[in-house]
Amino acid sequence: MNRTIIIIIIVFALGFYFGGTNMLDNPKKCFPTVDYTKYNGVYFGNGIFACKSEETCLHELGHAVDEFMDFPSHTQEFADVLDSFCEIEAHPACELPGINSNPLAGWGGYTEAYAEVYKYWKLWGHLPKELSSFYGVVYAD
């Protein structure tokens, strides 16, 4: 078997693993038509993303975690907890447009903040305790 065929099978298997039967119903979910070369990172869904640096890859991986956790970033609870956290702590996610009363200007909002908190968790090795449950992490007291 030549190398190209092996790579195609691996890509197909990964797409099937992450996309399930969605990939067969809608091949665009596995082979997106978005021109991702224009972006530093883009999340396609079903755990599939493209990224150009460690930081953007961690950000996109944060979107995958959000999806696998059934989108806690879309809940009012996450928005409320993040806003409360931002009132007492300084964190880059708190500076995003649309967070903690910052005006929303294009990119931003709680879904992006979720991905940013994930990114800084992996870069700094620390996930704020207040936010940990939204990432499936429980700290012992």
Q: How far apart are CA 138 and CA 141, in angstroms?
A: 9
Instruction: Report whether 76 contacts 129 (CB < 8 A).
Output: no
Q: Token digits for 137? A: 């992490």
59 phi and psi angles, rounded to 5 deg: -60, -50
Q: How far apart are CA 112 and CA 59, in angstroms?
A: 8
**Region near Zn ion per CB under 5 A, out of 17-25, 26-34, 70-78, 114-122:** 114-122
**Region near Zn ion per CB under 5 A, out of 15-23, 67-75, 76-84, 105-113:** 105-113
Considering only residues 25 to 64 of the shown chain, the ones binding Zn ion according to CB under 5 A are none
99 binds Zn ion (CB under 5 A): no
| Closest distance of CB 78 from Zn ion, Å | 15
115 binds Zn ion (CB under 5 A): yes
Choice between 25 and 78, CB closer to Zn ion: 78
